[in-house]
C-alpha cells in the first residue's frame, strides 16, 4: 500500500480525537526541534480546528469492538498499518518544513495491547534517538498493556494520555466491551504517580531524565450515553484534583458507526460540548467548584447562557461588584470579564480610580458586565432585584445566531485565558 493511502486511512481514523494541545513542554539538547513553550497552531482545518500535530493512528486494525468507534473489529473498512520507520520519517519531514509541532500517536489494538504498545514505543524511540528529534510527542497509552511498557511511554513522550472515552463504568461496559473503569484508571493513576515522582527527583537531581514533562490528559465522548453534565463536570474536577491531569478533552459524539446501543443523533451536540469546555475552564482558571455550577436539581448546563452568566444570575446577591476594590477572584466572576481584563483592572486601578467608561478600554464586554459592576459607586445596570429583567437584557445582546455556535465567545474565552499556557481550538 502506498504511504499516501495509509496516511489517509490513519489520519481519518485519528481525527475524532479532540486534543491538539502541544504546549507546556520543552526539551533541551542537540538535534532538531524544541517544543515551543506556549504551543503553536500551524493551520486550521475546514472544521476550524487547530492543526499542530501529525495526529495519526499507527494502525486502525483493532481486536476490540467498541460500539462508537470507526476501528471496531466488526466495521467493514480498509485497514492499514504504518511501520515505526514510516512514522518517524514522516514526522521528521513534516516537522522540518514547519508543518507541525510534533507527533500525536494513537492506535487501534493490533495483536495485543502489549504488541501495540511495543510498536508505538519503537516508533517514538527511533524518532528521538535516530532522528534526534526534540519536538513534541503525545503518546496514547493502550489500556491493558504491561505496566513496564506503559512506564516507558513517559520517557519518550512529552505528554501521555489514556482515554476515558465514556464517563461511567456502566457506559463503558455497555459500549466498550474489553474496557472497564479499571483498565482506564489504573494506568492513569500509575502515570500520575510516575510523573509526580520524576518531578520530585528532578528537583533534587537536575540531570535525571524528564518524564512526560507536559503531563497527562484524557478525552471523553459527550452525548453517546445518558450521563448528565453534572456527572461529567464532577468527573473532570476529580481528574484534575486526583490524577493531576493537565487537560480533559470533550468530544461531541459523531455517529460514525451504526449500532442499536447508540443514540440516533442528527448532528453532534456541539453546543453542549462548548458549554462543557466553558465549565471546565471555570474549574481550572476561574476558581469555580463543580457544585457551584451544577447541582442535583439542575444537572444540565444551560444552552442559552454560558455557565458563568448562569452562576451570576443565580447569585445576584453577590453583585454588583465594585471594580476599584474587589479582589481579583471576585472580579473574575463577573460576566463579561475574563482573565485578561480582570488582570488589567487590578493593574490599571493602581494608576488611579477607574470609571465605568474606562472598563471598555480594558477589554471588558460592557454589554454584559454593566449589570454586575459599579465603578466609584456608579451603576448603570437595571435597578431591579429580579434576575428576569437582566436575563432578558442579556439575551438581547446575544450575537445573532445563524444556527452556528457563538464561537466568537469561545474564541474570546480562549484568548482571554492565559494564552501563554493554552493553545488551540478547544
Residues 110-139, mask of contacts with another protein (x by CB under 8 A): ----------------------x--x----
Q: Please check whether residue 416 is in contact with residue 335, taking contact to mean a CB–CB distance below 8 angstroms.
A: no
Site for ligand SF4 contains 64 (CB under 6 A): yes
Site for another protein contains 187 (CB under 8 A): no
Q: Which three cell numbers mark 24?
A: 507546556
Compute φ and ψ for 232, nearest 5 degrees: -70, -45
Site for another protein contains 401 (CB under 8 A): no
Pick the closer one to ligand SF4 by CB: 221 or 354.
221
> 255-294: which residues touch ligand SF4 (CB under 6 A)?
none
Pick the closer one to another protein by CB: 47 or 76.
47
Task: Return the residue of 33, 39, 102, 108 that touches ligand SF4, per CB under 6 A.
Answer: 108
Q: Which three cell numbers mark 184?
A: 482506564
Q: Which of the choices ligand SF4, another protein, none does residue 71 contact, using the CB cut-off of 5 to 8 A by kind?
A: ligand SF4
Among 382, 407, 411, smallest CA distance to 394 is for 382
Report in angstroms how near the CB of residue 251 gets to another protein at its nearest.
Answer: 10
Pick the closer one to ligand SF4 by CB: 69 or 390.
69
Report in angstroms how near the CB of residue 191 gets to ligand SF4 at its nearest.
Answer: 18
Site for another protein contains 407 (CB under 8 A): yes
Task: Give the whole-angstrom CA distance, residue 115 versus residue 112.
Answer: 5
CB under 6 A: which stretch of 57-65, 90-98, 248-256, 296-304 binds ligand SF4?
57-65
Pick the closer one to another protein by CB: 40 or 186.
40
Task: Give the whole-angstrom CA distance, residue 39 versus residue 98.
Answer: 13
Site for another protein contains 25 (CB under 8 A): no
> 316-345: which residues touch another protein (CB under 8 A)?
344
Residues 231-270, mask of contacts with another protein (x by CB under 8 A): -----------------------x------------xx-x
Pick the closer one to ligand SF4 by CB: 257 or 330.
257
Contacts by 326-331, CB closer than 8 A, 24 or more apart: 329/287
Pick the closer one to ligand SF4 by CB: 141 or 293.
141
Site for ligand SF4 contains 110 (CB under 6 A): no
Site for another protein contains 348 (CB under 8 A): yes
Residues 281-320, mask of contacts with another protein (x by CB under 8 A): ----------------------------------------
Place of cell 457551584: 292
**What is the bridge-based pairing of β-strands 321-322 and 373-374?**
parallel
Residues near ligand SF4 (CB under 6 A): 62, 64-66, 69, 71-72, 108-109, 176
**What are the residues binding another protein (CB under 8 A)?**
3-4, 7-8, 11-12, 15-16, 31-34, 36, 38, 40-52, 54-56, 90, 93-94, 96-99, 132, 135, 254, 267-268, 270, 344, 347-348, 350-352, 354, 358, 361-362, 404, 407, 411, 425
Amino acid at each position: 500500500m502506498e504511504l499516501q493511502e495509509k496516511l489517509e486511512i490513519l489520519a481519518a481514523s485519528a481525527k475524532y480525537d479532540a486534543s491538539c494541545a502541544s504546549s507546556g513542554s520543552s526539551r533541551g539538547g542537540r538535534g532538531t526541534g524544541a517544543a515551543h513553550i506556549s504551543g503553536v497552531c500551524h493551520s486550521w482545518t475546514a472544521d476550524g480546528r487547530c492543526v499542530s500535530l501529525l495526529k495519526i493512528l499507527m494502525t486502525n486494525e483493532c481486536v476490540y469492538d467498541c460500539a462508537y468507534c470507526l476501528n471496531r473489529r466488526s466495521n467493514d473498512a480498509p485497514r492499514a498499518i504504518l511501520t515505526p520507520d514510516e512514522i518517524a520519517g514522516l514526522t521528521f519531514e513534516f516537522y522540518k518544513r514547519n508543518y507541525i509541532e510534533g507527533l500525536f500517536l494513537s492506535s487501534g489494538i493490533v495483536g495485543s495491547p502489549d504488541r501495540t504498545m511495543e510498536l508505538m514505543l519503537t516508533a517514538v524511540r527511533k524518532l528521538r534517538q535516530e532522528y534526534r528529534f526534540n519536538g513534541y510527542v503525545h503518546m496514547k497509552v493502550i489500556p491493558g498493556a504491561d505496566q513496564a511498557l506503559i512506564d516507558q511511554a513517559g520517557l519518550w513522550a512529552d505528554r501521555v494520555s489514556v482515554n476515558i472515552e465514556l464517563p461511567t463504568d456502566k457506559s463503558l461496559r455497555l459500549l466498550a466491551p474489553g474496557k472497564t473503569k479499571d483498565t482506564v484508571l489504573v494506568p492513569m493513576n500509575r502515570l500520575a504517580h510516575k510523573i509526580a515522582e520524576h518531578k520530585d527527583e528532578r528537583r533534587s537531581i537536575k540531570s535525571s531524565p524528564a518524564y512526560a514533562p507536559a503531563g497527562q490528559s484524557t478525552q471523553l465522548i459527550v452525548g453517546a450515553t445518558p450521563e448528565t453534565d453534572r456527572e461529567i463536570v464532577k468527573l473532570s474536577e476529580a481528574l484534575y484534583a486526583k490524577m493531576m491531569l493537565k487537560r480533559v478533552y470533550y468530544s461531541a459524539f459523531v455517529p460514525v458507526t451504526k449500532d442499536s446501543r447508540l443514540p440516533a443523533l442528527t448532528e453532534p451536540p456541539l453546543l453542549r460540548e462548548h458549554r462543557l469546555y466553558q465549565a471546565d475552564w471555570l474549574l481550572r482558571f476561574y476558581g469555580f467548584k463543580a457544585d457551584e455550577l451544577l447541582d442535583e436539581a439542575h444537572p444540565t448546563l444551560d444552552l442559552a447562557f454560558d455557565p458563568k452568566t448562569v452562576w451570576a444570575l443565580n447569585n445576584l446577591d453577590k453583585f454588583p461588584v465594585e471594580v476599584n476594590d474587589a479582589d481579583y477572584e471576585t472580579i473574575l466572576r463577573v460576566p463579561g470579564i475574563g482573565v485578561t481584563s480582570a488582570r488589567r483592572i487590578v493593574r490599571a486601578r493602581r494608576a488611579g480610580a477607574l470609571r465605568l467608561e474606562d472598563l471598555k478600554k480594558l477589554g471588558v464586554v460592557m454589554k454584559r458586565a454593566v449589570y454586575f459592576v459599579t465603578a466609584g459607586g456608579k451603576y448603570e445596570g437595571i435597578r431591579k432585584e429580579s434576575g428576569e429583567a437582566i436575563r432578558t437584557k442579556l439575551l438581547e445582546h446575544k450575537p445573532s445566531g445563524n444556527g452556528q455556535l457563538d464561537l466568537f465567545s469561545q474564541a474570546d474565552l480562549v484568548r482571554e485565558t492565559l494564552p501563554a499556557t493554552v493553545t488551540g481550538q478547544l
